[in-house]
Amino acid sequence: MSVIKNYILPHPPIMIPQIGKGDEVNVESTIKAISNITDEIAQIKPDTIVIISDKAPYYSDYIHMFSKGKKTGDLSEFGAKEIEFTAEYDIKLQKNIDRLAKEFDFPAGLEKADYQKIDYATIIMLYCLVQKYVDFNIVNVGLSNLSLEDHYTFGKIIKKASDELDRKVVCIASCDTSRDVAFSDEFLDIIKENPNDIFKDELKDTFSEFDVVKALAVLNGTFGDYNGEKNYSIKSNIYNFENPFEVGYLVAGFEADKKGSADVIKKDISKYDSEDECIKLARNAVETFLQTKDIVVAEEIINTDSDLFKEKAAVFVSIYNNDNIRGCIGSFSPIQKSIAHEIVANAINAATRDVRFMPITAKEIKNLSFVIDVIHKEQKVNLLDELDQNKYGVIIVSKDGKKGIILPNQANIDSVQMQLSILKQQVCLPENAKFGEDYELSKFEIQRHGAL
């Protein structure tokens, strides 16, 4: 036994009567198509259904599976708390996938933090499935910012793990398609012709930003390679496609004529392989906290031999969404026991406690970038001529003890006078306040990690 058939199914909550309250007629053809799929699955009688959800925990550099034996979720966020499921996970298959990923040094498995509840896209799949078939366990998988090739390889790991346990498996990608009509049209054409065409050089760079394409890459991988290449015997069937609310709802099925192999497991080269330790810590801290409220253990993210655990320093963490600042938090002096722990604390605070911005949400994760500034060589300023807005950050202390700080080399700050003007505003001093009489200054250098 192995992976028998795969599907892409949408998850519009409105198709559930308790939520739609009559409006489900707007997605009637989607509902009928999904009903036909669940009939097929009931006939296949799989032992396990792998649900790949675009609403499950999303980590940039890691494909995560829910790790508990049982987990509960409901649709209370859509006003239907009564629709609740407790999922039974296929622990043996999960552990086998995790073991194989570790064996091949592949970034996937059970190591990251879970949501407290099952995500709503998975709950909606369970709602549809149990109308027709109940004798199954699940494996619940998220997506990542890794390449399409890596998502394909993860599919091969699912296949290999299923083969070893003699599991009969069906995989479902619970994903909406896109609001991008041009993409949806091209994506449908590819599915009709050959699903593995998503890997063509002229397509994969732009297509890889869409979660449904990443999910399809996983599905394709579960059919394995054939004669050392991707399995081009995959047949597809589009049961339905509609976009009544400017979101594409695709119902499609996939199966392979030829039995593929999952013997070759190789990780694609990724930007995360050589990621700066400071950025890696900040990113993992924010991604984990936004999704689970868990605080990562720094020693589990980077090597404990790192100098980041041996030194103390003040740290500022700046977070950007598509180059727009979303938060920046730091301190005048070190608070935590090491630079590593300073980064974790300030990254979470920058994401959630910078009062100038709304807190960052989990939906923003895939677009976030980080800049870490570690403060070094703080020294008292005796003359204003010692300052340089590009080289030095500045700390101001007013006569009544108020403090302010500005980092060096900031966009749109092109003079020392501009630095001083901003600092005076921070401590409520007038523009004509005098250095040495009304306030004192110290300057510092930074070690910057990441790019503005």
Q: What is the pLDDT along the chain (452 residues), one digit of tens a residue?
A: 688 999 999 999 999 999 999 998 999 999 999 999 999 999 999 999 999 999 998 999 999 998 767 788 999 999 999 999 988 899 999 999 999 999 999 999 998 887 778 999 999 999 999 999 999 999 999 999 999 999 999 999 999 999 999 999 999 999 988 778 888 889 999 999 889 888 888 887 788 889 999 999 999 999 988 767 887 788 999 999 998 888 889 999 999 988 778 777 888 878 888 899 999 999 999 999 999 999 999 999 999 999 999 999 999 999 999 889 999 999 989 999 999 999 999 999 999 999 999 999 998 998 999 999 999 988 999 999 999 999 999 999 999 999 999 999 988 899 999 999 999 999 999 999 999 999 999 999 999 999 76
Going by C-alpha positions, the residue among 308, 305, 299, 304 that lies closest to residue 276 is 308
Instruction: Report the C-alpha gap between 167 and 159 in whole angstroms.
Output: 9
Residues 6+ apart with CB under 8 A from 240: 29, 30, 32, 33, 249, 250, 251
Residue 11: phi, psi to the nearest 5?
Answer: -135, 50
Task: Quickly list H helices, 274-330.
Answer: 277-292, 298-301
Task: Write the single-letter amino acid at 62.
Answer: Y
Q: How far is CA 322 from the centre of its chain?
A: 15
DSSP 271: G
Q: Which amino acid is at 242?
A: E
**Amino acid at position 96, single letter:** N
Contact 151, 217 (CB under 8 A): yes
Taking Cα atoms as reference points, which of 70, 52, 340 lies closest to residue 217? 52
